[in-house]
């Protein structure tokens, strides 16, 4: 009985694979992932500072104009 398993993609010739290009692509993706993580890490801090500034400004306006 023959093997009916067909791979989704045919195997590539090892001499045709450009390992330098693959390495460059992986390094680029890793660098982008690290940068994204750094940018996302500070968003809660910016939100807290912005919220505190709005609250302080509201208290100042209320204090100066309503009391």
pLDDT of 2 above 70: no
> Taking residues 24-38, what's their average pLDDT?
91
Q: Answer whether residue 28 is part of any domain.
A: no
pLDDT of 31 above 90: yes
Q: How far apart are CA 23 and CA 66, in angstroms?
A: 64
Task: Report if pTM > 0.95.
Answer: no
Calculate the average pLDDT of the chain: 85
Q: Answer whether residue 65 is part of any domain.
A: yes
Q: Answer whether residue 26 is part of any domain.
A: no
Q: Answer whether residue 43 is part of any domain.
A: yes
Angle of CA points 12, 18, 19, to nearest 5°: 110
Q: Which domain holds residue 66?
A: 33-67
Q: Answer whether residue 16 is part of any domain.
A: no
Q: pLDDT by residue (tens digit) across 38-58?
A: 888 888 999 999 999 999 999
Count of domains forming the chain: 1
């Amino acid at each position: 009985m023959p093997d009916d398993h067909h791979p989704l993609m045919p195997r590539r010739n090892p001499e045709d694979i450009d390992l330098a290009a693959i390495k460059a692509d992986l390094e680029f993706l890793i660098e982008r992932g690290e940068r994204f993580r750094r940018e996302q890490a500070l968003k809660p801090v910016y939100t807290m500072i912005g919220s505190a500034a709005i609250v302080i400004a509201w208290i100042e306006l209320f204090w100066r104009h309503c009391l």
